[in-house]
């Protein structure tokens, strides 16, 4: 199989393999693209929770990005866990040095079990300095609440929060509705001129560890292969839904999803 595109993944390691950079690599690979990585932190965890987080020094994160991506030029960049202000500043500096325009930011804040993966002062920098520079930001409801200061408990308040993020400088926003207590899951895509609600069935399962990482990586892959961002979101959501539906039931806590549930990218990479 011919490789369709190259994705740089900037994210933390999840030793249990369901989320973080492991989920990202599996997703990008199963959708037919090549991944290179910059590891931002090493977590010790299993499906029941996070035991520890060791940050990688911010200079080393920048070195990983620049040294590897100046050699193998990525068509798209996915950004996940960035735990501190300094790391975010180094990532912003690094992005400036690369030419890659297609960048998706998953503003990771808390792991499924409740462990914090970012510190408070970093959130402000992420919002002010990184968010305006990326193509798409993909917060879930708690993350969108932190980023906007709004309480989100309905489709209307999701839309309000998405609008606020656009007014704060985000180019495109996908707010994921999985945390709301609705029959179906609604994810809202918004930019200055377009708007779309993606409706998916809600599956009754605890095995949703890494869905956010997986979705943002899938979107980055489809986007890097020439799909529009809106279409890439639609295809990414389909991929994650299928991955949840066919989850392998591993572990005693929040189990991983099935990254091998690939769907075909029809449009050829240009």
User: Is 85 known to be catalytic?
Assistant: no
C-beta of residue 58 within 8 angstroms of C-beta of residue 86? yes
Whole-angstrom Cα distance, residue 27 to residue 213?
9
**Smallest gap from residue 269 Cβ to ligand PXL (A):** 27
C-beta of residue 31 within 8 angstroms of C-beta of residue 265? yes
Among 8, 10, 19, 126, binds ligand PXL (CB under 6 A): 19
Single out the catalytic residue among 27, 148, 211, 220: 211
Residue 157: Cβ within 10 Å count: 18
User: Is 233 known to be catalytic?
Assistant: no
Tokens for 73, please give them: 């030029």
Single out the catalytic residue among 6, 176, 227, 230: 176
**Smallest gap from residue 113 Cβ to ligand PXL (A):** 8
| Interface map 103-142 toward ligand PXL (x if CB under 6 A) | -----x--xx------------------------------
Single out the catalytic residue among 18, 80, 177, 210: 210
User: Is 43 known to be catalytic?
Assistant: no
Q: Which residues of 117-147 are buried (b: 16+ CB within 10 A; e: fewer)?
A: bbeeebbebbbeebbeebbbbbbbbebbbbb
User: Is 149 known to be catalytic?
Assistant: no
| Interface map 27-66 toward ligand PXL (x if CB under 6 A) | ----------------x-x---------------------
Q: Binding-site residue total for ligand PXL (CB under 6 A)?
A: 16
User: Is 100 known to be catalytic?
Assistant: no
User: Is 251 known to be catalytic?
Assistant: no
**Smallest gap from residue 99 Cβ to ligand PXL (A):** 26
Determine if 178 is a binding residue for ligand PXL (CB under 6 A): no
| Interface map 191-230 toward ligand PXL (x if CB under 6 A) | -------------------x-xx-----------------
**Smallest gap from residue 50 Cβ to ligand PXL (A):** 6
**Smallest gap from residue 115 Cβ to ligand PXL (A):** 7
Whole-angstrom Cα distance, residue 181 to residue 168?
27
C-beta of residue 21 within 8 angstroms of C-beta of residue 12? yes
Determine if 80 is a binding residue for ligand PXL (CB under 6 A): yes
Determine if 146 is a binding residue for ligand PXL (CB under 6 A): no
Which residues are tagged catalytic? 176, 208, 210-213
**Residues engaged in binding ligand PXL (CB under 6 A):** 11-14, 19-20, 43, 45, 80-81, 108, 111-112, 210, 212-213
């Amino acid at each position: 199989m011919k490789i369709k595109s190259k994705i740089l993944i900037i994210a933390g390691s999840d030793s249990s393999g369901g989320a973080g950079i492991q989920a990202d690599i599996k997703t990008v690979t199963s959708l037919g693209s090549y991944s290179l990585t910059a590891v931002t932190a090493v977590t010790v965890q299993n499906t029941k929770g996070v035991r520890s987080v060791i940050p990688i020094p911010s200079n080393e994160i920048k070195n990983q990005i620049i040294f590897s991506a100046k050699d193998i030029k990525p068509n798209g960049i996915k950004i996940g866990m960035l735990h501190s202000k300094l790391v975010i500043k180094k990532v912003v500096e690094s992005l400036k040095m690369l030419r890659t325009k297609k960048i998706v930011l998953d503003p990771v804040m808390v792991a499924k079990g409740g462990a914090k993966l970012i510190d408070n002062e970093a959130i402000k920098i992420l919002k002010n300095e990184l968010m305006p520079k990326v193509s798409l930001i993909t917060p879930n409801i708690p993350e969108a609440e932190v980023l906007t200061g709004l309480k989100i408990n309905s489709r209307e308040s999701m839309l309000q929060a998405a609008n606020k993020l656009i007014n704060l400088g985000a180019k495109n926003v996908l707010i994921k509705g999985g945390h709301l207590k609705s029959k179906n899951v609604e994810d809202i895509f918004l930019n200055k001129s377009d708007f779309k609600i993606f409706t998916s069935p809600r599956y009754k399962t605890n095995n949703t560890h890494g869905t956010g990482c997986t979705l943002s990586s899938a979107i980055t892959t489809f986007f890097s292969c020439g799909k529009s961002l809106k279409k890439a979101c639609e295809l990414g959501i389909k991929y994650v839904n299928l991955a949840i539906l066919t989850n392998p039931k591993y572990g005693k806590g929040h189990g991983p999803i099935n990254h091998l549930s690939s769907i075909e990218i029809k449009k050829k990479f240009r």
